[in-house]
Amino acid sequence: MQLTRRDLFVGGATLATAASFGTSAEAQTRAETLRQVTGNSVNTLDPTMPGSTREAFGISVNVYDRLVSFGRKRSGSGWIFDPDTITGELAERVVTSADGMTFTFHLKRDARFHDGTPVTAEDVKWSLDRHVSARSLASAQVQTGGWTRPDQFKIIDEYTVEAKVERPDRLALPNLCTLYCIVINSKLAKRHATADDPWAQEWMKTNTAGSGAYTVETFRPGEQVILRRNDAWKGGPLPFFRRVICQTIPEAATRASLIERGDADLSIDLQASDIPTLVNRGRVKLVSTPQFNAFTMVAFNTRVAPFDNLKLRQAIAAAMPYQDIFKAALFERGAELFGASWQGTPPESKFPQPLPLRTDIARARALLAEAGYPNGLDTTFSFNVGSATVSEPMAALLKESLGRIGIRVEIQKLPDAQISTLITEKKVPFLTETSIAWLPSTDYFFRNFFTGDQRWNYSSWNNAEINALTAQARYEQNAAEYDRLCKRMISILAEEVPVIMLWQPNQDAVMPPTVDGYTYQYHRQVDYRDLRRA
């Protein structure tokens, strides 16, 4: 059974170089083994730990179950996650109270952890308590859905758990779909807990206590993870692949060669510039999906001069060479977030959407003069080393175009850790970043990226009306009023330009023609459970 988003507040809603492929005692054929090659690495088996890589997130989705998860739907040649449909993993059904504040989870009675012990309400309660109590990535995420305290979770009986929020938060149930909300074998984890580590966080970095579709056969941090299918899995249809190898290959060209030769089956992080040539040779299949819950932008630090000046931000927005950057930096592999024709009120309430941004040098010069900088100014533009393939050509074109109106730009290419610290401390005046919202609703985007003092508010924007609108929209149950609030947020953003929206990059998944079922997920990693070989 599935629950759509419009049902969430309705009472009684029911949720119905090559590695060896044959070294284990139960050696599987090549057809039954999937090999993913990635430029990054899996650094932990606990996705909730600060510093976890996205690749670690991907492994955890396949090793752990959650109570519920997002559905998926067709999109072009592949699939995408469906945030408007929620399905059960460990929950057989969920009953939502009439006021939208209480969720009762009825567990599958035949679900087992990897060690064979039953999944019970005690395990669910302990896991949810951990997610709101421990110092972890989970606690920050689930707070956006109103989950903040252990006393919100109550055991009704051995296979029933009740969870209650204080207000009917539209993101309460979707938050429990996120990969942080793993259900842990509490008895096993407790055996490895200590007085200083009551949630067994240290042990779970390199060990698992899950019930998911795959178990971990081998874990070599930074190098390789090998998974084995859990044939007793009850969270969904049994996956096709019996064995999965996720291997770190730093060089993009090597990854591409392995895929083309048939020595590897999947890569999602090849160079955008290499993909057209690779695909045109006809030996691989491409599933290309605009990352509809992500965006690339240029951000101003609106907290300090000179970018606290609205006219200056508008001038730079008018001087940006949008189309040239899109072609040179991204090879047009994505969805544009500039060039819209609307003025005032946007046509849609969804976000991100194209904004009325276009190159107009004459207007840029006039706005610069209005801002009080008729002779221009000097500034720095920063990006992280990890994004250099895209950000370097972007920065070069930005520098050239802003130079036409008298703004002199020094480009700073900074190590990822350094720029992350500077962003957190609000010390970067002018930068580019790509970010993502796991729960792609407009109020969630604005709360996370355009309000508050958190790291993700790249522009340090503090607009009183935006703050009020996001607070209201979070709890608004009337669809028409919610749309009105969201359109107003987008209008203010377009006018005040704390950031310049550029594009939503594609996720390009490259694989042999025989691999099918690839799904673009909110976490931008691979769900092996969906894949199969023809």
The full DSSP string for 146-203 is: T---GGGEEEEETTEEEEE-SS--TTHHHHTTSTT-----HHHHHTT--SS-TT-HHH
Query: Both 236 and 299 in a single domain?
Result: no
- In three-state secondary structure terms, 128 is helix
Number of domains in the chain: 2
Query: Both 231 and 300 in a single domain?
Result: no
Query: Both 387 and 418 in a single domain?
Result: yes
Query: Both 413 and 490 in a single domain?
Result: yes
Give the model's pLDDT for residue 162: 98
Residues of the domain holding 129: 2-16+28-250+512-533
Task: Name residues whose C-beta falls within 8 Å of residue 202's C-beta, 6 or more positions apart in sequence.
Answer: none
335: number of Cβ within 10 Å: 18
Residue type, 428: V
Query: Both 55 and 102 in a single domain?
Result: yes
Query: Both 489 and 520 in a single domain?
Result: no
Q: Is residue 22 part of a domain?
A: no
* CA distances, 66 to each of 86, 180, 240, 332 (Å): 12, 9, 20, 36
Average of per-residue pLDDT values in the chain: 92
Q: Report the b/e string of 255-281 with b at 16+ CB within 10 A.
A: bbbbbbeeebbbbbbbbbebbeebeee
Give the model's pLDDT for residue 534: 86
Give the model's pLDDT for residue 128: 98
Give the model's pLDDT for residue 20: 40
Query: Which positions of the chain have pLDDT values less than 70?
Result: 1-28
Give the model's pLDDT for residue 76: 79
Query: Both 502 and 516 in a single domain?
Result: no
Handedness of CA 480, 481, 484, 486 (dihedral sign): negative
Ramachandran class of 316: left when φ > 0, alpha when ψ lies in -120 to 50, beta otherwise? alpha
- In three-state secondary structure terms, 86 is strand
- In three-state secondary structure terms, 296 is strand
Query: Both 456 and 528 in a single domain?
Result: no
Instruction: Give the pair of three-digit tokens for residue 500.
Output: 């310049």
Q: Is residue 276 part of a domain?
A: no
CA angle 415, 418, 423 (to 5 degrees): 120
For residue 139, the surrounding DSSP H or E stretch is helix 137-142
C-beta separation of 456 from 423 below 8 A: no
Q: Is residue 136 part of a domain?
A: yes
Instruction: Give the pair of three-digit tokens for residue 442.
Output: 């407009």
- Rounded distance, CA 367 to CA 357, Å? 14
Q: Is residue 275 part of a domain?
A: no
* CA distances, 350 to each of 400, 477, 523 (Å): 33, 16, 19
C-beta separation of 67 from 181 below 8 A: yes
C-beta separation of 381 from 431 below 8 A: yes
Secondary structure of 451-500 in HEC code, one letter for each residue? CCCCCCCCCCCCCHHHHHHHHHHHHCCCHHHHHHHHHHHHHHHHHHCCEE
* CA distances, 497 to each of 126, 301, 312, 504 (Å): 44, 11, 10, 18
Query: Both 87 and 144 in a single domain?
Result: yes
C-beta separation of 414 from 407 below 8 A: no
Q: Is residue 126 part of a domain?
A: yes
Report the CATH number at residue 489.
3.10.105.10
Instruction: Give the pair of three-digit tokens for residue 473.
Output: 């929209």
Task: Name residues whose C-beta falls within 8 Å of residue 90's C-beta, 6 or more positions apart in sequence.
Answer: 65, 66, 67, 107, 108, 111, 119, 124, 183, 211, 235
Instruction: Give the pair of three-digit tokens for residue 318.
Output: 């008018």
For residue 434, the surrounding DSSP H or E stretch is strand 430-436
Q: Is residue 278 part of a domain?
A: no
- Rounded distance, CA 132 to CA 141, Å? 9
Query: Both 116 and 188 in a single domain?
Result: yes
Q: Is residue 494 part of a domain?
A: yes
Query: Both 230 and 304 in a single domain?
Result: no
Give the model's pLDDT for residue 12: 34
Q: Is residue 227 part of a domain?
A: yes
- In three-state secondary structure terms, 444 is helix
Query: Both 42 and 168 in a single domain?
Result: yes
Instruction: Report the DSSP beta bridge partners of residue 432.
Output: 298
Residue type, 425: E
Find the Cα–Cα–Cα–Cα dihedral 97, 100, 101, 105, rounded to 10°.
50
Instruction: Give the pair of three-digit tokens for residue 275.
Output: 């993909």
Task: Name residues whose C-beta falls within 8 Å of residue 277's C-beta, 6 or more positions apart in sequence.
Answer: none
Report the CATH number at residue 171.
3.40.190.10
Instruction: Give the pair of three-digit tokens for residue 407.
Output: 């703004």
